[in-house]
Amino acid sequence: MMGTSFKFLTRATDNASLGAFRVLFGLLMFAAVVRFAAKGWIREFYIEPTYFFTYEGFSWIHPWPVWGMYAHFVLLGVLALMIAAGVYYRAAVVLFFLGFTYAELIDKSTYLNHYYLVSVLAFLMALLPLDERFVWNPFRRHLPERLAAPAWVLYALRLQLGLVYFYAAVAKIHGDWLLRGLPLKFWLAARADLPVIGPWIAMPAAALAFSWFGFLFDLTVPFFLLNRKTRTYAFAVVVIFHAMTAVLFRIGMFPWIMIATATVFLSPDWPTKLFSRFARRERRSDRVESSPRRYGWVFATAVALHLIVQVLLPLRHWLYPGDVLWGEEGFRFSWRVMLTEKDGSVSYEVSDPLSGRRWEIDPKDYLKSYQLKQMSTQPDMIRQLARRIAEDFEAQGYPDVEVRANAMASLNGREVKPLIDPNLILAKGDL
């Protein structure tokens, strides 16, 4: 059994789709970086804010000075192109992973599932030999190219992407999504102006139909993509589905990343089939096919560990009490995509037991509007800012102040209720 599995995973597989995956990923990341800069988000997200919600264990990560942040994104763009071309691939993808993840770790407010996906994929790509096809390296000529890679390389990428879809489906097994069509009901009603489909999608029944379609799509599409007979149709559905989400919702690069990465489910030789003339030329060149790789087992082990973490990480919310959509413990890094319409408001009450004085602190004094929106529904961020407020009061000569939050929020249109007990002391002195 073990032997069969080992043979199955190590058998030589056409690596054309792996090369294409790398090229598409690199080009999309270049586009994403250019788009990010063009929208002014480098300044808005990393230069203008005076306070950043750092991740636990990563509070040492701070933005570069102004010129450094711009240089950082220029470098990310260059690295993305290097990944696409396969130029010094390993170094480029490792640096891209570090650089992209660094930017994401600066502030929780900018967390997005697809940014996380980029980091995860870049990390995985750094462990995989994706630079053996479709390489254009002007600095090195006569590269010995391989036509094949061990099958596990392809399966690792497929499993990673399959996990995204699978856990996105699991997260949708919730009364709001499956029984009430929430939050799509609100979001689709907001698109009632769209030509032709607008009035239809604004109907409550449409929200429920979209919810179920979304759930079934996420749950089944990896399997249909894996099946040779259904693969082509499933990929067409992937394109239509994600293109539709791009039209209906403001989700930036996410649909395009999902479409591009889904190509890894196609036949491993799809690029050579698609560009058959190019493929004929390629076959005439001198290459080594699926020869053993140095330290291949080390990379395979690292990939296996990575995938185990990816399987377990989205399940960690079971360790916490309550609805993950409300308390959000274990919400991030678990592919809970587009599940909530959650809005709230927060004000802090600072009291000094010694003097009896009380202040109401508006978080707007500390935050940019997008940070405020994110923070107002996420208890861990509310607590983080409370600590900062306590520190500021300590610096002003009030070392023993108690900081409480009046945080009210609504989940998926329900009545507003306190997100945190207003009597709970979130920060006190040096606590």
SS3 of the chain: the string is: CHHHHHHHHHCEEECHHHHHHHHHHHHHHHHHHHHHHHCCHHHHHHHCCCCCCCCCCCCCCCCCCHHHHHHHHHHHHHHHHHHHHCCCHHHHHHHHHHHHHHHHHCCHHHCCHHHHHHHHHHHHHHHCCCCCCCCCCCCCCCCCECCEEEHHHHHHHHHHHHHHHHHHHHHCCCHHHHCCCCCHHHHHHCCCCCCCCHHHHCCHHHHHHHHHHHHHHHHHHHHHHHCCCCHHHHHHHHHHHHHHHHHHCCCCCHHHHHHHHHHHHCCCCHHHHHCHHHHHHHHHCCECCCCCCCCHHHHHHHHHHHHHHHHHHHHHHHHCCCCHHHHCCCCCCCCCCCCCCEEEEEEEEEEECCCCEEEEECHHHCCCHHHHHHHCCCHHHHHHHHHHHHHHHHHCCCCCCEEEEEEEEEECCCCCEECCCCCCCCEECCC
Interaction of residue 345 with another protein, rule CB under 8 A:
yes
Residue 251 Cβ, how far from another protein at the closest point, in Å? 5
Between 84 and 338, CB nearer to another protein: 338
Q: Roughly how many angstroms between the first and final C-alpha of the chain, as a whole number?
A: 55
- Which span (181-189, 276-284, 296-304, 306-314) binds another protein, by CB under 8 A? 181-189
Report d(CA 51, CA 431) in Å as an integer: 19
Distance of alpha carbon 154 from alpha carbon 150, whole angstroms? 8
Number of residues that bind another protein (CB under 8 A): 67
Q: Which x/- pattern over 349-388 shows residues binding another protein (rule: CB under 8 A)?
A: ---x--xxxxxx-x------xx-xx--x------------
* Least gap, CB of 256 to another protein (angstroms): 11
Q: Are 340 and 183 in contact, with CB atoms under 8 Å apart?
A: yes
Interacting stretch for another protein, rule CB under 8 A, among 85-93, 96-104, 142-150, 202-210?
202-210
For another protein, the closer CB: 369 or 423 = 369
Which residues make Cβ contacts (< 8 Å) with residue 48, sequence separation at least 6?
A: 368
Binding piece for another protein, criterion CB under 8 A, among 56-64, 83-91, 92-100, 334-342: 334-342
Least distance CB 226 / another protein (angstroms): 14
Q: Please report whether residue 232 would count as binding another protein according to CB under 8 A.
A: no
Please state the closest distance from residue 358 (CB atom) to another protein, in A. Answer: 4
Stretch that binds another protein, among 59-67, 196-204, 263-271, 420-428 (CB under 8 A): 196-204
173 scored as a contact of another protein (CB under 8 A)? no
Interface pick for another protein out of 24, 338, 381, 405 (rule CB under 8 A): 338
Q: Looking at 76-84, 88-96, 136-144, 343-351, which segment touches another protein (CB under 8 A)?
A: 343-351
Determine which residue in the list 130, 161, 163, 409 makes contact with another protein, applying CB under 8 A. 409
Distance between CA atoms of 427 and 99, rounded to whole angstroms? Answer: 33
Instruction: Determine which residue in the list 416, 421, 430, 431 makes contact with another protein, applying CB under 8 A.
Output: 416
185 binds another protein (CB under 8 A): yes
Work out whether 254 is an interface residue with another protein (CB under 8 A): yes
Measured CA distances, 18 to 28, 262, 285 (Å):
15, 11, 19
Near another protein by CB under 8 A: residue from 160, 225, 412, 427: 412
Q: Give the x/- contact pattern for another protein in 109-138, rule: CB under 8 A.
A: -x-xxx------------------------
Stretch of 11-19, 64-72, 174-182, 260-268 lying at the interface with another protein (CB under 8 A): 174-182
Output the smallest distance, CB 9 to another protein, in A: 23
Shortest Å distance, C-beta 420 to another protein: 13
**Which range, of 52-60, 73-81, 158-166, 246-254, touches another protein by CB under 8 A?**
246-254
Q: Looking at 333, 413, 425, 428, which residue binds another protein (CB under 8 A)?
A: 413
Chain residues in the site for another protein (CB under 8 A): 39-41, 44-45, 110, 112-114, 178-181, 183, 185-187, 189-193, 202-205, 208-209, 212, 216, 249-254, 337-338, 341-345, 347, 352, 355-360, 362, 369-370, 372-373, 376, 406, 408-416
